[in-house]
Amino acid sequence: MVKGRRKFIMRNFGSLIREKALKHQNKTLFIFRDGEISFKDFHEKTSRMAASLVGYGLNISDRVIVHFGNGLEIVESYFAVGKAGAISIPLNTMFTAREMKYIINNAEAKFIITSEDSLAKILSIRDEIPTVQKIFVAGKGRQSDVIPYRQLYEGTTQEVHGLDVDPESISMVFYTSGTTGNPKGAMLTHNGLITNAEVMVKTLGFTENDRSLCILPFFHLFATMFSLLQMMFAGGSTVIVEGKFDEEIACRFIEKYKVTVLLGVPTIFIYLINYPGRKKYDLSSLRIGVTGSGPVPITLKEQFEKEVGIVVVEGYGLTEGGPIVCIERPGGERRLGSCGLTLPGLETRVVDQNGKDVPPGEIGELIIKGYPYIMKGYWKMPKETSETLRNGWLFTGDLVKKDKDGYIYIVDRIKDMIVRGGYNIYPKEVEMVLYSHPSVLETAVVGIFDEVLGEVPKAYIVLKPGENISVEELNKYCRENLAAYKVPREIVLVNELPKTGSGKISKVEIREREKMKGN
């Protein structure tokens, strides 16, 4: 432990699962499509996988792309890579080959672990990702230039438990969309992630009797933190839901597996509470819901408490923060519109443009500080790191209010980020794709209100003189170059875009026009 800092046991991924496997042995850790796996078997299997990865040439701090949808393989890969002392880089399965290529090359990834479904996309850019030495593929098919995933655990009896991996070393790099158009890789440590999980378990009262339903994708930090690390730390279990969200499957799994903890972005809760078939299922095992990562309607919490009989708590976090910053306490006071109190071990301040604290109740930027939670920086981006981490404080870019008792209220985003059903979209990234089309002269992308998803992107486009391309063709171009959730819901062709006095496109005016339409 570090002198002068909050006292937590320092752990890495290997020591965490070993500790829990010794305690819980044959208790179920994960339930998935083919059955279930215990704490003990998960620990042993991932130790064999780690040994295999080392045998194939994986070294300390090498980067490994982990590219799966939900299933046992993605969580196994995280722990195998962590035990080997290397760094996992989760990759969104909805990314296009173009988006994947940037991250793979920026990270200088050595290995890729992926599914058969995604292999074709990776092979289409194989000649453009020169640092990648080996590709491991889960599935029944055979491919001459890749290694079967099962070889990682079937091909050796040796084990690497990873107990000597430095807890302060980077365990995962989560790429977040960047305002410059390129994603930024937030570097998070073993100890930071596990400590955040430990504090959340104690704050929310999770126990070994809890069972969560993982609807969110594990390539997002939200799911990795709650359904993987927190449940593991508590000694609970997780039911992994594969494929796209489906209300009927969610209700059926809650009833079948006696799920106690429901985790999800507000969109999931909205779909579930409005699902006509919900009342056919016994959801009485549920005891708590946890949501965040988007606007949470106040009526939604009230509906769940009234109709399902559970408390739904709201939290706030960001990848760079490790990730959870504040959350409502299930048994404590919950204030209207608030996302709760700051987590133990973290400090939060609300500051003006000059970095000076604003009085309670006034709007300012939320900044946070706290070892070991917050990121070490952005991968290979020193300039962006120095802009975000200043004098030990992480500047979130989010506008908030904090009352005199410390309750935090999210007001808006300084950055132009759009949160679409829990997925983060930066307009500049979409704009850069549109600008790459030869017919586009100017474009501006803004978020517009959506009752279910919270926000969706809308693009305004000015075509070059003489061009006559259709909205349908532009939509097709976006679908080919952007993940599906980033594609604008609506594209509008206009003669000109509003400008500021300095000649810049005025998104403020565009948003005001959208609000007027809404009214």
CATH annotation of 418-518: 3.30.300.30
**For 149-245, where are the E strands, in sequence order?**
170-176, 184-189, 211-214, 237-240
**CATH class of residue range 29-165:** alpha beta
* 217-245: burial string, b at 16+ Cβ within 10 Å, e else: bbbbbbbbbbbbbbbbbbbbbbbbbeeeb
Q: List beta partners, residue 342.
A: 326
Q: Is 109:129 a contact under the CB 8 Å cutoff?
A: yes
- Do 418-518 and 29-165 fall under one CATH topology? no
The full set of domain ranges for the chain reads 29-165, 418-518
Question: What whole-number distance in Å separates Cα of residue 443 and Cα of residue 430?
Answer: 9
Instruction: Give the pLDDT confidence score for residue 501 in this predicted structure.
Output: 45
From residue 436, alpha-carbon distances to 36, 238, 439, 494, 519 in Å are 47, 43, 9, 18, 34
Instruction: Give the pLDDT confidence score for residue 93 in this predicted structure.
Output: 92
Rounded to the nearest 5°, which phi and psi values hold at 403?
-80, 180
Give me the DSSP letters along 389-436. EETTEEEEEEEEEE-TT--EEEEEESS--EEETTEEE-HHHHHHHHHT
pTM across the whole model: 0.84
Query: pLDDT tens-digit profile of 369-385?
Result: 999 999 999 999 999 99
Question: What whole-number distance in Å separates Cα of residue 319 and Cα of residue 13?
Answer: 18
Q: List beta partners, residue 324.
A: 317
Instruction: Give the pLDDT confidence score for residue 5 in this predicted structure.
Output: 46
Q: Is 74:49 a contact under the CB 8 Å cutoff?
A: no
**Local mean pLDDT, 10-residue blocks, the chain (519 residues):** 55 98 98 95 98 98 98 98 99 92 98 95 96 94 84 93 97 79 92 98 98 95 96 99 93 98 90 91 98 78 92 95 96 90 97 96 95 96 96 93 95 77 84 89 90 94 91 97 96 88 70 77
Instruction: Give the pLDDT confidence score for residue 2 in this predicted structure.
Output: 37
Helix, strand, or coil (residue 227): helix
